[in-house]
Amino acid sequence: MSREVVVVSDSLGETAEAVAKAALSQFEEDGLNIRKFAHVDSDLSLAQVREFLTETSQAIVIYTVVLPAVRDQLKTLLHELGILGVDVLGPALQAVATIAPGPPRLQAGLVHMLDEGYFRRVAAVEFAVRYDDGKEPAGCLLADVVILGVSRSSKTPLSMYLAHRQVRVANIPLVPEVALPQELYEVSPEKIVGLMVQPDDLLLIRSARLRAMGVAGPSRYADLERILEEIEYAEKIYRKLGCHVLDVTHRAVEETAGLIIELVQRGGQR
């Protein structure tokens, strides 16, 4: 049975999607899907929403629609189909209107046009993707932070999380057999963060990764002796660079990212 949480917006739909994901995170049951319809601002786009809803067994709609005409049409559609709708933005607009000095602009997507941070965030995400996993070493010289670490030490998740905080991050994997790019030695040590994971925990993480990939049998990738070799190599590199070092064992990505941001904001004071 198809059970859909349908996100509808006359802009990008990021706010409604975030609310939907926050709500879904409270439920363990599988089979609840999110389907997003963005830029719903015409009869044609509303017709696409109607078509999807009529073909879905069970659905609710979470929406952020600024344009009054579109919002009213959507409410009418939901009433006709007997589908529950959650208006995320409407009540907030009405509440703010009671104290605002003037009427609302009623322009879809205005938050993104006014928010320079939004564009910095997009640029930082593009930067993180381009300079992920040491793909272009020159990114080290352009980054706000350079993250180093052995495989499965959360380099990429950290880079993406920091990017959403408008931090430009390049990350480089540490492999004993692979020389580090020369550009790394031109970066200030205060901008470099080395990640460490306790060997036993790293062994569990890598073993789980291999199982998820369907790899059976012994592998050097998940061999404790090899892991100790890699960690020893990483420690040697960190000492040589004189960079910051963070033990990320049992740390959430959010917590580690917060520590990295603190290091950057403090100008590298240890």
Identify the bridge partners of residue 32 per DSSP, sorted by sequence position.
3
Q: Decide: 257 and 158 in contact? Cβ < 8 Å.
A: yes
Closest CA to 154 of 253, 226, 9: 253
The predicted model scores a pTM of: 0.62
* pLDDT score at 186: 96
Domains 3-114 and 116-265 belong to one CATH topology: yes
* pLDDT score at 75: 95
* pLDDT score at 105: 72
The CATH number of the structural domain formed by 3-114 is: 3.40.50
Q: Decide: 196 and 246 in contact? Cβ < 8 Å.
A: yes
* pLDDT score at 104: 82
* pLDDT score at 68: 86
pLDDT in tens, 184-229: 999 999 999 999 999 999 999 999 999 888 888 889 999 999 999 9
Q: Decide: 197 and 186 in contact? Cβ < 8 Å.
A: no
* pLDDT score at 270: 45
Domain residue ranges in the chain: 3-114, 116-265
Closest CA to 200 of 234, 221, 227, 230: 227
Alpha-carbon Rg of the chain, whole angstroms? Answer: 24
Query: Fold for domain 116-265?
Result: Rossmann fold (3.40.50)
* pLDDT score at 63: 96
Token representation of residue 201? 């925990």
205 backbone dihedrals φ, ψ, rounded to 5°: -65, -45
Spans in the chain with pLDDT lower than 70: 1, 29, 109-115, 267-270
Three-state secondary-structure class, residue 35 = strand
Separation CA 112–CA 122 (nearest Å)? 11
